[in-house]
Amino acid sequence: MDMKSDHARKRLPAGERKRIILEAAMRTFVEYGYHGALMDTIAERAQVTKPILYRHFPSKMALLLALLDSAGECLLESLLEPMGSVADWRTAIRHHVRSYFDFVKNSAMPYRLIYSTDLNVNQEISERLTLIRNQIIALVADHIRFFIDTAKINDEDIEVTAVILVGMAETAAERWMADEHIPLEVYERNLIKALTNILAALPGRADQAADLKRKGDAHARS
C-alpha cells in the first residue's frame, strides 16, 4: 500500500470507509469461506490498516454478521419492490419471481453470502441465517394470504405452502449459480409455471375473482 493511497483512505468519511471494508469483506468471505478469510486480506483489499479495520469491526464474526444483516435486508427489499398497483395473483407471481432472480443475478455475492454453507460456522451465524430465511417465508405467506380466501384454508397450510415456494426458488437459484449453462430466464419461466400451478389450487378471494371477471368483460368489449 503506497503512502498516497493510504493518505487518500485516511481522508475518507467513516461511512465511506466502512462501506469499502464491507465490500472487501464480502468478496473475501465468498471467495475463501469463514475460516479461510483473513482479516489481513480484508484490510489489504480495503486498503486500510488492521487497526482501522478493527476500529470499525472488533472481530471477524462481527464483520460477517454485519454483512449478513445487510445482505438479508437487500434480499427482502427486492421482494418488497412495489408493482405499481394491486394486481391479480398471477401477475404478482411473475413480478416477485423476476424481482428475486434480478437480485440473484445482479447481487450474486450477497446472495451467495446468505446461502454459503462455508459461512454457517456457529450457532450465532446459524440463527442469523435462519432469521433471514424465516423473514422471507413470512413475507411470502403474507402475499399468499392477500390473494386467497383465508376462511377456507388454515394458517398452517399457508405457512407450509410458503416454505415450499421459497424452497423451490432457492433451489432454482442455487442450481443456476452452480451451472449457468441453462439461462436464468428458463429457470424463471418454469418456476413461475410451477408456483402458478400450486397457488391455483388454493381458494381465491371472491373480490379478486369478481375483479378479474370485470377486467375480462371490459377487455372483451374493447
For residue 42, the model assigns a pLDDT of: 97
What total of structural domains would you count in the chain?
2
Check whether residue 72 and residue 18 sit in a common domain. Answer: no
Structure confidence at residue 207 as a pLDDT band (50, 70, 90): low
pLDDT, residue 87, reads: 64
pLDDT at 221 > cutoff 60:
no
Query: How does 166-203 read in b/e, with b if 16+ C-beta sit within 10 Å?
Result: bebbbebbeebeeeeeeebeebbeebbebbeeebeebe
Q: Are residues 18 and 90 both part of a single domain?
A: no
**pLDDT > 80? residue 28:** yes
Same domain assignment for residues 52 and 119: no
Question: Among residues 182, 24, 169, which one has the least CA distance to residue 104?
Answer: 169
Residues 112 and 208 in one domain: yes
CA 55 from centre of chain: 29
Both 85 and 49 in one domain: the answer is: no
pLDDT for residue 219:
42
pLDDT of residue 8: 45
Statement to judge: residues 22 and 76 lie in one domain? no
Confidence of residue 222 (pLDDT cuts 50, 70, 90): very low
What CATH number did the domain enclosing 33 receive?
1.10.10.60
pLDDT higher than threshold 80 for residue 209:
no
Q: Which of 109-113, 206-210, 211-215 has the highest mean pLDDT?
A: 109-113
Residues with Cβ < 8 Å from 205, sequence gap 6 or more? 147, 148, 149
What confidence score (pLDDT) does residue 120 get? 79
Model pLDDT for residues 46-104, shown as the tens digit of each residue? 999 999 999 999 999 999 999 999 999 999 998 887 665 556 888 889 999 999 999 99
Q: What average pLDDT does the segment 192-211 reach?
A: 81
Same domain, 83 and 132: yes
Its domain, for residue 17, covers 3-58
DSSP 195-215: HHHHHHTSPBPHHHHHHHHHH
* Helix-strand-coil split of the chain, %, nearest 5: 80, 0, 20
Confidence class of residue 213 from pLDDT cuts 50, 70 and 90?
A: very low
What's the confidence (pLDDT) of residue 220?
46
User: What's the pLDDT tens digit per position in 146-163?
Assistant: 889 999 999 999 999 999
Q: Is pLDDT at 6 greater than 90 in this prediction?
A: no
Examine the domain organization and report whether 175 and 85 are in the same domain.
yes
Question: What CATH number corresponds to the domain at position 203?
Answer: 1.10.357.10
Q: Do both 87 and 53 map to the same domain?
A: no
Q: Same structural domain for residues 144 and 213?
A: yes
pLDDT of residue 10: 58
pLDDT at residue 124 tops 50: yes
Residues 54 and 114 in one domain: no
**Same domain (yes/no): 129, 45:** no
